[in-house]
Amino acid sequence: MIDSHCHLDSRKFDADREAVIERALAAGVEQMLTIGTGDGPPDLEAGIRLAEQYPFLYTTVGVHPHEADKVTDATLAELERLLAHPKVVAFGEIGLDYHYNFSSPDTQRKVFRDQLAIARRAHKPVIIHTREAWADTAALLREHWPQKGSPGGIMHCFSGGPPEARESLEMGFYVSFAGVVTFPKALDLQQAAREVPLDRILIETDAPYLAPVPFRGKRNEPAFVALTAAKVAELQGISTADLIAATTTNFRRLTGLPIGDANA
């Protein structure tokens, strides 16, 4: 398995990070993508510092919409430089979050556009965060992220229903399902998981957030991606092994990592 989105730099792992990583490996997680947004600027290397320590960890750089107000021209220039690091395989998570509005919506939209431009120039896939902002997120992607010839990307922790999933696919994105898909009342999300083609699905934890059933409400960790894999496989009507094989291939295809090589 691959956990395509986790936050191993989180302070919630400070007491036992090594044990968390060991449990993931023991559960069959071969690679993890630890997201490099950290606490935002000026520190842009939170994920890189971790990924350099382990051959099976990869990372991203980017500024989360919560921290968009901290972005300067120097921030953007440094992000562009860091994209060349060999362990950085994607740009993100970037996007819009109108639930908390920790940064102003206008600034979020500007920083989103600026970061899409950087990723486009570097030809790196983008990892999209969108919360209560689907219409604006989709509109900006259609305007600033080419659907043809682009490096693609991931709709991270997808929380929409079939219409949003179809729109994501039309824009060339993979749809990534996290622990929320295991929640009994997540019926629209579960229907989306039934309908997304197998070659466009990814699985993730978003650890330490959004632990799947039966750990809902507790700290999430990469080992729990197995529970999400089992649920998505059930919804797809296939074996968990087939779901895992497909999502692993999908992730490596998107990020350019060698197919079938866990520690390339």
Q: Where are the domains of the chain?
A: 2-255
User: In the predicted model, what is the mean pLDDT of residues 257-264?
Assistant: 62
From the CB of residue 198, how many other CB atoms can be counted at a distance below 10 Å? 16
How many percent of the chain have pLDDT more than 70? 98
Summarize pLDDT for 90-112 with one digit per residue, the tens: 999 999 999 999 999 999 999 99
| Residue 28: pLDDT over 60 | yes
- Say if residue 132's pLDDT is above 60: yes
Share of the chain above pLDDT 90, in %: 95
For residues 116 and 144, is the Cβ–Cβ distance under 8 A? yes
Report the alpha-carbon distance of residue 11 to residue 250 in Å, rounded.
Answer: 30
Task: Specify the DSSP element, H or E, that contains 39.
Answer: none
For the sheet with 31-34, list strands across it.
Answer: 2-6, 31-34, 57-61, 88-97, 126-131, 153-155, 173-177, 201-203
Q: What is the pTM of this model?
A: 0.95
Note the CATH architecture for domain 2-255: Alpha-Beta Barrel (3.20)
- Residue 213: partners with Cβ closer than 8 Å, 6 or more residues away: 179, 182, 183, 184, 227
Quick one: pLDDT at residue 148? 79
* Banded model confidence at residue 261, pLDDT cuts 50, 70, 90: low
DSSP letter string, 144-165? HS-SSS---EEETT----HHHH
